[in-house]
Structure 1
């Protein structure tokens, strides 16, 4: 069943909700990274640190780069995206797990990059993810659109392929834990409109 969602730019005061959806979209990877804020004693929880990072007014992937899908006056999903320029090569990975992701991003300079696309479970299968994806194509302004997903995320890959994306590269992910299931990061690109 398709449900009409209203898409609009995110607001700074929605950063906590953005953090939840970004963590859902990343299957817990975001909160794992944000836990660094707890270790450095700048936050009490990973989500507090994520919220604080998303509330920033500058930098890639903050509230200013987010679009939310609203259904019945509640946020149901989000996308976070931005243009990739040559400065991506100047970003120093703060943790080894980020090295392969930055390497893949450096291959798509000049592209519109979808950093996160997530929908709450109870709103999935209603066309919200597809609507957010189509909105990102419009935001790209004719530029190629790229994103990275996990090799075992079959549902997301099916959605991306149905919408004109092709796999262009993959690299082995650095495991977060010793006993973590191994996977690759997969770079998908949809050519310019």
Structure 2
């Protein structure tokens, strides 16, 4: 595991509210849509999101930028191994295209969430988090980095391309009842 220096730190469960907000922001509402589907009668879907983020924080899976008043940006990711994940008939349709793209990014460190509150944009935080992702990827011994982004998220794509990511594949966005303008998912890869 790498060591983080301020303003970076590993998230803690006490960051769960900000993390749920950042994850939903980065996912353009898809996380909240999923949390709503998981919520029991009367359960607040945000509580599900916070619990999921708290668990990831306990597992050390999230790095945050903390400028002294809590998390303002986050990075979550994981290693995609060298074997594709099986996509059977029971695989949820909403996630099928995303998994198909992940299966084309074998042996990579996958940037699952890169998010920054809008009030902190333009300060280089996204670039710093991508540099941190590269450092984590190298420490994990992978040969490449991967990101999947919505085709209409042009700002994020520009950031990723400035950092050496190249479009490799696309897949249609399956929307179900998720209200989104996204038409395609785009897989970007970067050699380390």
TM-score by length of 1: 0.85
Q: Distance in 2 between matches of 1:176 and 1:17?
A: 27
- Residue 148 of structure 1 and its aligned partner are, at CA, apart by 0.3
Deviation string, structure 1 residues 79-101 (Cα, Å, up to 9, x no partner):
10110125661477763111100
Q: Distance in 1 between matches of 2:158 and 2:70?
A: 27
Q: Distance in 2 between matches of 1:46 and 1:160?
A: 31
4+ aligned runs moved over 4 Å, structure 1: 90-94
Counterpart position of 1:59: none
Counterpart position of 1:135: 132
Q: Distance in 2 between matches of 1:184 and 1:70?
A: 33
- Residue 65 of structure 1 and its aligned partner are, at CA, apart by 1.1
- Residue 50 of structure 1 and its aligned partner are, at CA, apart by 1.1
Q: Distance in 1 between matches of 2:119 and 2:91?
A: 34
The answer for unaligned runs of 5 or more in structure 2 is 1-5
Counterpart position of 2:46: 47
Q: Distance in 2 between matches of 1:189 and 1:178?
A: 27
Q: Distance in 2 between matches of 1:186 and 1:132?
A: 20
2:122 alignment partner, SS class? coil
Please tell me the root mean square deviation across aligned C-alpha atoms, in Å: 2.1
1:81 alignment partner, SS class? strand
Contact 2:150 2:182 survives alignment (8 Å): no
Q: Distance in 1 between matches of 2:17 and 2:172?
A: 31
Q: Are residue 163 (structure 1) and residue 163 (structure 2) matched?
A: yes
Q: Distance in 2 between matches of 1:27 and 1:180?
A: 8
**Equivalences, count:** 181
TM-score by length of 2: 0.86
Larger displacement relative to structure 2 (176-185 or 161-170)? 176-185
The answer for unaligned runs of 5 or more in structure 1 is 57-61
Counterpart position of 2:8: 7
